[in-house]
Structure 1
Amino acid sequence: MIERVAIVGTGLLGTSVGLALRAAGFKGSIIGWNRSAEGAQIAFKSGAIDSIASDPISAAREADVTILSVPVYATLDLMAQVTMHIGGDHLVTDVGSTKLQITKAGTQYFNQVGCAAFLPGHPMAGKERGGAELGDANLFRGAAWLFTDAPGAVRTQRGGELVLSWREWVVAMGSKVIDLDAARHDELVAWVSHLPQFVATALSSVLAERVGDAPELKDVGGRALREMTRLGASPFSMWRDIAHTNTDAIAAALEALEQRLAHIRENLRTPELRDEFEKANRFRRE
């Protein structure tokens, strides 16, 4: 049973976790910490957390479950720090967007005799902008929450109980739990999450260069422009770590798209163009 939760990083996802836990009926205490004091205060005032820790280590020490809700490299750094201050009666989990390095670090720093348990996780939910002020109790409802647990992880009985309990709370928050191999996770999200982001970034960037100063741009572009460039508002601070930790998979997806775009460009006046639309239509129907 989980009675105390620590949320390290009260941005969009961290604040949303706190709000979603409360909405799901969690009655225990939730302590939070954020690099920006303002972000922690916003999370506190919204009711996502009950108190603010002075640092991430003290937050983890007070909790049964610690949720690392920070960019990937910061998660890896915190894993190395936190493991030295908690024991086998704790669980650490995360919400990082790439999982191979984090899952390997989990085996190195946790899931050993005398160490805390670690459960690598990734909720497939978010918004194009971050920040505690955008926290949403319904953010995870209907979303997949992916776990990439290492096979044969060594855990105390208490650690194993906390893993099962946290998975149950994830379901209570409205998510569908899916277990994946870490390498398969990174390959898959490169296609379904990372590729759309970089396409939106590239499209927004080229539009800014070519027609960004046109006064009638927003009116002419309409809904199609808004939908296709929505992710262009996403912060580099988060996507830098994703690009650095999933480079090969993202590059492969981008190369495949480049080839498909070249094929379309070369067939704007041939029946091949119809075939591309038919493939796209089938994908959307399915």
Structure 2
Amino acid sequence: MMERVAILGTGLLGTSVGLALRAAGFKGSIVGWNRSRSQAETALSMGAIDSIGHDAIETAKASQVVLLAIPIFATLDLMEQLAPILGPDHLLTDVGSTKGQITEAAGRLFNTPGRAAFLPGHPMAGKERGGAEMADANLFHGAVWLFSDNPAWKRSPQSAALASSWREWVVRMGARTNDLGPQRHDELVAWVSHLPQFTATALSALLENEVGEAPELRDVGGRALREMTRLGASPWSMWRDIAHTNTDAIAAALEALEQRLAHIRENLRTPELRDEFEKANRFRRE
């Protein structure tokens, strides 16, 4: 039974998990840790955590379930540090947006006799701006929470029970769960998450160059401009690790979009443009 949770990283997702667990009726203890103590203090003031851990390693050791809600490279670093310290009565999980490197490390460092278990996870939820102050107990309602589990991993009965319990709490937080292998996961999120982000970034950067000196033109764009550039507010610090750990899949998606845009450019006065609109309409309807 899951009674002690440690959230390492009390930004948007980590703090939202704490709030969502409480809203779902979790009565156990939730300890939070963050490199920036002010973020941990914000999470504490919001009721997402019960106390602040002063050291990530010690906070993890005192828990049963450890949620790594930090950037991907920091997650990989902490996995290396925690592997020789935690035991078969611990479960680690994460919220990383790419799963290839994390799943490889999970198989190498965890999920073996005498070691803690690791359950790679990724909630398809978020906002364009991060930080504990943006957290929301309802962030995961209706969202899909992806797992990249591996049935070949050997887990202790204690950690297997914790993994099952964590999955149950994810559902209680309002999410739907789905299992995808790491390669398939990274291919899919490149299309449905990473491509929209980098498209919005490119469009926003282009508009900054073209109309940045004429702020009155922002109003001309109205709702269309706001919707298309909303993700342009996302910080580089959040997306650097994603770009580094899913480079090939993102590059392939961007190349496909470049070709599609070229096709539209070349057919602005032909029936091919109508076909593109019809395909786009079908996608939105479905």
- TM-score bracket, normalised by the shorter chain, equals over 0.9
Which residue is equivalent to 1:135?
A: 135
Identity %: 73
Measured in 1, the distance between the counterparts of 2:243 and 2:151 equals 26
Which residue is equivalent to 2:39?
A: 39
Measured in 2, the distance between the counterparts of 1:135 and 1:264 equals 39
Q: Secondary structure at the match of 2:139?
A: coil
Which residue is equivalent to 2:86?
A: 86
Cα drift, residue 213 of structure 1: 1.5
Measured in 2, the distance between the counterparts of 1:238 and 1:72 equals 9
Which residue is equivalent to 2:212?
A: 212
Which residue is equivalent to 2:4?
A: 4
What TM-score comes out, normalization by structure 2 length? 0.99
Measured in 2, the distance between the counterparts of 1:279 and 1:127 equals 28
Which string of whole-angstrom CA distances, capped at 9 and with x for unpartnered residues, describes residues 261-285 of structure 1? 0000000011110000000001111
Which string of whole-angstrom CA distances, capped at 9 and with x for unpartnered residues, describes residues 191-247 of structure 1? 000000000000000000001121312210100000000000001011000000000
Cα drift, residue 86 of structure 1: 1.1
Which string of whole-angstrom CA distances, capped at 9 and with x for unpartnered residues, describes residues 62-120 of structure 1? 11100000010000000011112210000000000000110110011110110001100
Which string of whole-angstrom CA distances, capped at 9 and with x for unpartnered residues, describes residues 139-178 of structure 1? 0000000000123111000011000000000000000000
Measured in 1, the distance between the counterparts of 2:84 and 2:23 equals 33
Matching of residue 63 in structure 1 with residue 58 in structure 2: no
Instruction: Identify unmatched segments of 5+ residues in structure 1.
Output: none
Which residue is equivalent to 1:279?
A: 279
Matching of residue 152 in structure 1 with residue 152 in structure 2: yes
Measured in 2, the distance between the counterparts of 1:249 and 1:151 equals 25
Within 5 A, what are the aligned runs for 1:70-219?
70-219=70-219
Cα drift, residue 6 of structure 1: 0.0
Measured in 1, the distance between the counterparts of 2:213 and 2:10 equals 36
Which string of whole-angstrom CA distances, capped at 9 and with x for unpartnered residues, describes residues 1-53 of structure 1? 10000000000000000000000000000000001010000001000000001
Q: How many residues align?
A: 286
Measured in 2, the distance between the counterparts of 1:215 and 1:47 equals 40
Cα RMSD between the aligned structures? 0.6
Partner amino acid, structure 1, of 2:141: R
Q: Secondary structure at the match of 2:151?
A: coil
Matching of residue 228 in structure 1 with residue 228 in structure 2: yes
Measured in 2, the distance between the counterparts of 1:227 and 1:62 equals 44
Which residue is equivalent to 1:24?
A: 24
Q: Secondary structure at the match of 1:248?
A: helix
Partner amino acid, structure 2, of 1:270: T
Measured in 2, the distance between the counterparts of 1:149 and 1:60 equals 21
Partner amino acid, structure 1, of 2:255: E
4+ runs deviating over 6 angstroms: none
Measured in 1, the distance between the counterparts of 2:141 and 2:284 equals 22
Measured in 2, the distance between the counterparts of 1:217 and 1:27 equals 51
Partner amino acid, structure 1, of 2:81: Q
What TM-score comes out, normalization by structure 1 length? 0.99
Which string of whole-angstrom CA distances, capped at 9 and with x for unpartnered residues, describes residues 243-267 of structure 1? 0000000000000000000000000
Partner amino acid, structure 2, of 1:42: T
Measured in 2, the distance between the counterparts of 1:139 and 1:260 equals 33
Partner amino acid, structure 1, of 2:190: A
